[in-house]
Structure 1
Amino acid sequence: MYKSEQLAHSIRQLIESGTLNAHEKLPSLRDQVQRSGFSLMTVMNAYQELESQGLIYSKEKSGYFVAEQIALKPLEQYSVVSLNSKIEINSLVFKYLKSIQHESVVPFGSAFPDSQLLAAPKLIQIMGQLARQRQSYDQTASLPPGNLALRKLIAQRYCMQGIQTDPDDIVITSGGLDALNLSLQAVAKPGDYILLQQTVFYGAWQAAERLGLKVITIPEHPQHGFDLEAFEQVIHTYPIKVCWLMLNSHNPIGFTVSDEIKYKIAKLLHEHQIYLIEDDVYEELYYGGQKPLSMKYFDQQNLVLHCSSFSKTLGAGFRVGWVYAGKFSDHIQHLQLMSTISVNALIQNALVEFLSHHHYEKHLRTLRLSLERYKKHFYHYLKQHLPATCEIYYYPS
């Protein structure tokens, strides 16, 4: 842990314990240097980190003060399991996506971070450099399963999480949604039962409609994010073939399910031999120091197809995702050759260059801090401007 992180952690504990109260003034930079023994730069970095997390705020020529902390309200629990034998959602999604193309519409439902926080300009610069070098890329190298160097880099990131990964088990896809759709096609056929969360990315409903699946939905749990009791009830009642779940940084609610519950879900999947399509496109956008584990970490029987993407961290327009497909790798590659065929070779090579030489981890840390700061600022703004009859529920994850 860096010295600035140590100091920030100490001050954060004082704030969270109530030792430092809202709007109480913090020691000046110079006073903090004398108290802590750290350098001025270290103290400045610590204060900036706390400010980015919404824990303190600054006033010009007055110094730093403790921000008002967010009181978490408990949500009421409800449990409604529903069966949807016939799905007709595609026309509604089409109308929605057409409507947000108008400049007068603010897309509050956007699934992407602010483009100014992403690394698209750097990637475009790298692509330009590669194009000017006129390197003769072997186009066949971009065919399924995709660029080997890129798959090795992705496999390394799995290994960092304690998941031993063979690059041959990874298939590069045209974005995260392509990975999810191909995975579902690989394990399900018309008439099969699929389990979804009640609040889910609309692409899951579209995929189920396209494949002619029967959908069972379970509600979210207000404290834990995932209703394990409802899940167990459903898999004992219906012949579920596959689940499509988002358990880390859930879209749109925002919760992250605990490792304990993930372990129990994995155990039930193994007992009933149910496949899981894991939508983990926000896996890198967590708050705090520890990256949440994926369901793939708990998978002992190759039942989990883990899908993710660079769209939420580097740039949406590049459309590069992947699936850790395991034993379904060959099947998914065959399906891919009949649809999107492959991902652009230049983009894949640019990603290899960026991930290898351009401090991806540093970019991710900055991105996470910015998103956490925006979230807290937005909460305080809503609290200030919404009428008293409105209640705001805040997920810390």
Structure 2
Amino acid sequence: MHKFKQLANNIQFLIESESWPAHKKLPSLREQAQSSGYSVMTVLNAYQELEAKGWIYTKQKSGYYVSEAISHVSKTSNKLALNTNIEINSLVFDHLKHLQKEHVIPLGSAFPSASLLCNTYFMKTLSRHAKIPNSALSTDSMPPGYLQLRQVIASRYSLNGISTNPEDLVITSGALDALNLALQALTKPGDFILLQQTIFYGAWQAAERLGLNVITIPEHYQYGFDLEAFENALKNYPIKACWLMLNVHNPIGFTVSNEIKSTIAALLQKYEVYLIEDDVYQELFYEKQKPLSVKYFDKGNYVLHCSSFSKILGAGIRGGWVNSGKFSNVIQHLQLMSTVSASNLMQHALADFMSSHHYEKHLRQLRLKLHQTKTAYYKLLQEILPIACEVYYYATGYFLWIKLPEGMDSSILYQCLLEKNIVIAPSILFQQDHLPSNYIRLNCSFELNDKVRRALQIMVGMIHDLVEGKVV
């Protein structure tokens, strides 16, 4: 597609979605060129294209304006939503600061309990590498990353049916770094991306930071993912990239079926749209069969697959990767301008640990403990929560997504609990559309001891008080 047509499509979508109302003045040619990154001539051609179609009109010596003479095309699906003015970074910053305070009960944390992740063998491996002279000073872990670590990760992909060359992998400073680098490689400010309506706040943060427009599709009440809305978005709007979480979804917890993942891969190839697959929780399944990724079904190399070690070895293990294929060099260039590289010491230790039988043993033990703990939380909450609440339980991960009574604002509950040194995650962290705000995410990986039980009882008491209007 020509650049001017791409820009014209972007502007047309803003008009169709009524983000730009009738008679709104468009940015000048120079202003539009500066904000979009296109040349002035490209912008002029786009404006002339829209004018010829009747979407905009000109006023002599004044500029271009949105027309109302044309009958706007009705939306192909009322399930889609456009977000052009994302503001979430401050909210997330405050939330993370509360989690860092002493003596809080971090039920709103995104990371599993450190007590479950600390592996003695890995710590010994890390210590051994730290004692090697000049180990931390080696440059063999610069982008794309330590070769042995990339080889081990590539072999695990191959064992899971995804043929992967170590050269396709870029080691990063965690999953969020991988996801952000992938998004930067695929987009520029003003582009449209597609997200799930409810999604990890890091996706919203990245969109805000990069100046992207976001189209969202809702979760399907039965299958987790709405294929009809997804195809409508790809077919009708100028989507440059999708960022989706389909295995152990954060915050809700569902895993999408292989049939749907296969269809997603086929649609990406059909409409030539790239997917950034956030698969950081893939290893935290409880069933015998590990869930497949969309990357498994990707025949046209449209999927950039991202994951990390932080959810299985700890938040301090700043190691992740992106299976980036032909975008490997672009991502490496971006990495050298930002994080430079992941820790050399950590990359060497991870390569050794993953090559041992201790890695799989740790994963099996972690899954078992998470399953037991999450089940215990679920049973307790089913007993003590008001009947008007609903707990969404999926046999994966360590989150419970809880629907509060209709009309309740989970942000108020969040603020009330902060005064008791209890931190939960309200739904406003995961959604930008004007959606019901009566949901919370709970981290159920912490030992269900007396302290945590009391915290849950306090939370339930607060919910009762809010229902009865006792909290102002």
Is the CA contact 1:119–1:313 (under 8 Å) kept in the aligned structure 2?
no
Matched with 1:172 is 171
Contact preservation (8 Å) 1:89, 1:205: yes
Aligned runs of 1:1-397 on 2, under 5 Å?
Answer: 80-134=79-133, 136=135, 139-397=138-396
Question: How far does residue 314 in structure 1 lie from its aligned partner after superposition?
Answer: 1.4
Per-residue deviation, 1:344: 1.2
Q: Distance in 1 between matches of 2:132 and 2:142?
A: 22
Matched residue type, 1:356: S
* Contact 2:287–2:395 under 8 Å retained in 1: no
Pairwise CA distance, 1:366 = 1.0
Cα gap change, 1:325/1:103 in structure 2, threshold over 3 Å: closer, same or farther?
A: same
Q: Deviations over 1:145-183 (max 9, x none)?
A: 000000000001000111111001000000000000000
Q: Secondary structure at the match of 1:257?
A: coil
TM-score between both structures, scaled by the size of structure 2: 0.66
Q: Is the 8 A contact 1:183 1:332 kept in 2?
A: yes
- C-alpha separation between the residues in 2 aligned to 1:148 and 1:137? 16
Tell me the number of residue pairs that the alignment of Structure 1 and Structure 2 aligns.
320
CA distance in 2, matches of 1:298, 1:234: 21
SS in 2 for 1:242: strand
Relative distance call for 1:131 and 1:101 in structure 2 (3 A) is closer
- Matched residues, percent identical? 63
Q: Partners in 2 of 1:90 and 1:148 — Cα distance? A: 35
- For structure 1, which runs of at least 5 residues remain unmatched after alignment? 1-77
How far residue 137 of structure 1 moved from its aligned partner, in angstroms, is: 6.4
Contact 2:382/2:391, CA 8 A, preserved across alignment? yes
Shift of 1:185: 0.4
Query: Deviations along 1:87-121, whole A, 9 cap, x unmatched?
Result: 11111111111122223543322221111111454
Q: CA deviation at 1:79?
A: 7.1
RMSD value, Cα:
1.7
Contact 2:318–2:343 (8 Å) recurs in 1: no
Q: 1: CA distance between counterparts of 2:260 and 2:170? A: 28
- Is the 2:252–2:392 Cα contact (8 Å) retained in structure 1? no
For 1:89 and 1:318, the matched residues in 2 are separated by 26
Residue 303 (structure 1) shift: 1.0
SS in 2 for 1:180: helix
Secondary structure at 2:214's aligned position in 1? Answer: strand
CA distance in 2, matches of 1:162, 1:357: 21
Aligned-pair CA distance for 1:325: 0.5
**Secondary structure, in 3 states, of the residue corresponding to 1:141?**
coil
8 Å CA contact 1:198–1:218 kept in 2: the answer is: yes
Q: CA deviation at 1:135?
A: 6.0
Contact map agreement 1:79 1:219 (CA 8 A) in 2 = no
For residue 132 of structure 1, what is the amino acid of its counterpart?
Answer: K
Q: Letter of the aligned partner of 2:351 in structure 1?
A: V
Q: 2-side partners of 1:114 and 1:369: how far apart? A: 14
What CA distance in whole angstroms lies between the structure 2 residues aligned with 1:301 and 1:155? 19
Q: Is the 8 A contact 2:371 2:395 kept in 1?
A: no
Range that drifts further, 347-356 or 94-103: 94-103
- Displacement of 1:222 in angstroms is 1.9
